[in-house]
Amino acid sequence: MSNSWWEIKIECIPALEETIFWRLSEFGCKGMSTQTQGQEILISAYLPQGQFKLLEVSDLSLLLEDDASAIGCQLPVTKCNLIDEEDWSSSWKQHWQPQPIGDRLLINPAWLDTQVNPADPDRLILQLDPGVAFGTGTHATTQLCLEALEMRLQPGSNLTIADIGCGSGILSTAALLLGAQQVYAVDNDPLAVKATGENRDLNHIPAAKLIVDLGSIDRLQAMIPEPVDGFVCNILADIIIQLAPSMAAIVKPKGWAILSGILSSQVADVSNVLEQHGWVVGTVWNRQEWSCINLKHK
């Protein structure tokens, strides 16, 4: 099995979701998803077998338990097994169906025929194949960002926006379909950069309209010819806090921002840091235990 993957399944309480996502990302997991199972959640993640030995995968289980103990939470249960690449790439697709989001978007898995609801025929169709990148439209943080973008963008608005941590490119692509004129996107994961470019092409968006590159906010500053009208950032709260001092430099005066990947319990801490760097919190939208902060720069 030369192209095999470690499939890691983690059963845990919802309060551990963000901590586990952070740990998996730091560890090098390629592709993560969450399913609700009653009062608990099941997190699935994947590691290429050729890059990780069984002992290293076992160490990951211990790290997850240590993280839970450190914050006084019930320990997660971690299981792992080897799966063939073909099985990995197709198994999760069987359960993903077209997803209407907000009033204007329909996220359609690229391998399925587009089926427009006759009762709702005017939705913008976003064809998506995320591969191993984050962002299918099923997670609450992605949905909150898409709905916030819908409120900001209208056809002919001629706005330029940035996408920090673009993942599958779902937010960048949606922004252009909703009416943005230009998008600049960055991500630290080369597979995310690849997925964003492929989803841009799936939706017949010219490459010059969605420019994507490897890196973070410092790379973005070098890419944009002038400050953008606003940006979206759907990553972890700790990373948002780290980036906060640099955010104002990429937007125009009175520019806006949409930030998610933030647990509702973390909103106050994140907001305090942002306010120290010249941002005003407008609205906070909540879904399940997640929040999306909408900001304006002073």
**Model pLDDT for residues 200-209, shown as the tens digit of each residue:** 999 999 999 9
Both 12 and 105 in one domain: the answer is no
What is the model's pLDDT at position 289?
80
Structural tokens at position 183: 């998008």
* Distance of alpha carbon 145 from alpha carbon 143, whole angstroms: 5
CATH code where residue 50 lies = 3.30.70.260
* Distance of alpha carbon 105 from alpha carbon 13, whole angstroms: 31
Last residue of one domain, picked from the residues 92, 122, 144: 92
Cα 117–Cα 119–Cα 125 angle in degrees, nearest 5? 40
Confidence of residue 93 (pLDDT cuts 50, 70, 90): low
* Distance of alpha carbon 23 from alpha carbon 12, whole angstroms: 14
Q: Are 135 and 168 in contact (CB under 8 A)?
A: yes
* Distance of alpha carbon 178 from alpha carbon 136, whole angstroms: 17
Last residue of one domain, picked from the residues 48, 71, 92: 92
Share the mean pLDDT of the chain: 88
Both 75 and 189 in one domain: the answer is no
pLDDT tops 60 at residue 220:
yes
Domain range for 11 is 4-92
* Distance of alpha carbon 225 from alpha carbon 281, whole angstroms: 27
* Distance of alpha carbon 298 from alpha carbon 198, whole angstroms: 36
Last residue of one domain, picked from the residues 54, 73, 92: 92
Confidence of residue 191 (pLDDT cuts 50, 70, 90): confident
Both 129 and 223 in one domain: the answer is yes
Both 55 and 102 in one domain: the answer is no
**Model pLDDT for residues 230-252, shown as the tens digit of each residue:** 999 998 899 999 999 999 999 99
Cβ burial 219-228 (10 Å sphere, 16+ → b, else e): ebbeebeebb
- % of the chain with per-residue pLDDT over 90: 56
**Model pLDDT for residues 43-73, shown as the tens digit of each residue:** 888 888 877 887 888 889 999 999 999 889 9
Both 164 and 254 in one domain: the answer is yes
User: What angle do the packed helices 17-27 and 54-70 form, to 10 degrees?
Assistant: 150
Confidence of residue 101 (pLDDT cuts 50, 70, 90): very high
* Distance of alpha carbon 116 from alpha carbon 29, whole angstroms: 35
The secondary structure of 194-238 as a DSSP string is HHHHHHHHHTT--TTTEEEEES-HHHHHHH-SS-EEEEEEES-HH
**Model pLDDT for residues 157-184, shown as the tens digit of each residue:** 889 999 999 999 999 999 999 999 999 9
* Distance of alpha carbon 77 from alpha carbon 216, whole angstroms: 33
Both 125 and 80 in one domain: the answer is no
Both 110 and 16 in one domain: the answer is no
Q: How many domains does the chain have?
A: 2
Both 84 and 136 in one domain: the answer is no
CATH code where residue 167 lies = 3.40.50.150
What is the model's pLDDT at position 114?
81
Identify the three-state secondary structure at position 135: coil
142 phi/psi in degrees, rounded to 5:
-65, -45
Both 147 and 256 in one domain: the answer is yes
Both 105 and 84 in one domain: the answer is no
Provide the H-helix boundaries in the chain.
17-27, 54-70, 85-91, 140-152, 170-178, 190-202, 217-223, 237-247, 267-276
Both 142 and 250 in one domain: the answer is yes
What is the model's pLDDT at position 1?
41
Q: Is the pTM of this model over 0.85?
A: no
What is the model's pLDDT at position 132?
60
Both 165 and 280 in one domain: the answer is yes
pLDDT tops 90 at residue 290:
no
pLDDT tops 60 at residue 189:
yes
**Model pLDDT for residues 134-143, shown as the tens digit of each residue:** 667 778 889 9
